[in-house]
Structure 1
Amino acid sequence: MAMAGEEVGKPPPHHLPTYPEMIMAAITALNEPNGSNKTSISKYIQSNYGELPPSHSALLKAHLMHMRQNGELVFIKNNYFVAGPDAPPKRGRGRPPKSEARGPPGFRPAPPRRPRRRRRRP
């Protein structure tokens, strides 16, 4: 029988830092000149933090992708770097939209013309 103060069936709480913290610590500790790849980051985390969830590789992949999209990490030639404070902001894909202001102030474009009527066979 369990005592009143005990909880039955719950594992002890994990004292692991969050994945982004572990990833940043791994990249800074490895300090590789060409950046750190996913395998070396994973091995560093496994050796330093021990008990990891069974879905560690999927979690690592998802967090790396998320951090890359947020601009926290830079991904060049399959290697990850910590983005510096002077890193250029990430641009969206494709051509930027045209601005609405065309021409000098007070300029009004001509109204759209009606399409011509098609000529039909007699």
Structure 2
Amino acid sequence: MATEELNKPPSLPSYPQMIMEAIDALKTEGANKSTITQYLETKYTDLPVNHADLLLNHLTQMKDCGQIVIINNNYFKAGSNSPQKRGRGRPPKPKEPLPAGALPPGPPRPRGRPRKDPNAPPAAKKPKPAPGPPSISKTGRPRGRPRKVQPQSVQNGVEA
């Protein structure tokens, strides 16, 4: 930090102050590193030679200590009005408050199919259908693929 103080002209404010000023001025969708650099270069003409390195170091330090927040490569001021960073996946549904006087629901239902009751009587068996020809079902058609139809015999050299 001592080398930074030597390289910075005395007329410039500190880098965190300049960064916060740039973020305030570029409020539209936050400010990325290149827009902050452009803003500082237009406002302050006597920036040090190693300005890009100093800016990157200060942005990283400010992000680590919580002064600024980075979302989608854009820097925002940390605070109550800064956009919240979303986690992965679908956000949960908002919970509706219970009406006055209503009791809260019991524990949530467990996942999966409910277990069978071991004390329940056995279920009645289904009646078997009436016996009929084994190859014909209720529709009247035999099961499976129909048989090939044999071509009729040849008469007078012409197939019928």
What percent identity do the matched residue pairs reach? 47
Q: Per-residue deviation at 1:49? A: 1.1
User: What's the counterpart of residue 50 of structure 1?
Assistant: 45
Matching residue within 67, 70, 76 for 1:75: 70
> How many Å separate the matches in 1 of 2:43 and 2:81?
30
**Structure 2 unaligned regions, length at least 5:** 1-8, 83-160
Give the alignment's TM-score, normalised by structure 2: 0.44
> How many Å separate the matches in 2 of 1:21 and 1:66?
13
- 1:51-74 deviations in whole A, cap 9, x for unaligned? 000000000000000000000000
RMSD over equivalenced CA pairs, Å = 1.5
Partner of 1:80, secondary structure, is strand
> How many Å separate the matches in 2 of 1:76 and 1:86?
14
Equivalent pairs counted in the alignment come to 74
**Structure 1 unaligned regions, length at least 5:** 1-12, 88-122
Give the alignment's TM-score, normalised by structure 1: 0.57
Task: Show structure 1 runs of 4+ deviating over 3 A.
Answer: none
Q: Is structure 2 residue 19 aligned with structure 1 residue 23?
A: yes
Partner of 2:11, secondary structure, is coil
Structure 1 or 2: more helix by fraction: 1
The letter for the 2-side match of 1:20 is P
Relative contact order (alpha carbons < 8 A, sep ≥ 6): 1 or 2 greater? 1
> How many Å separate the matches in 2 of 1:27 and 1:43?
12
- 1:37-56 deviations in whole A, cap 9, x for unaligned? 00000110111011000000
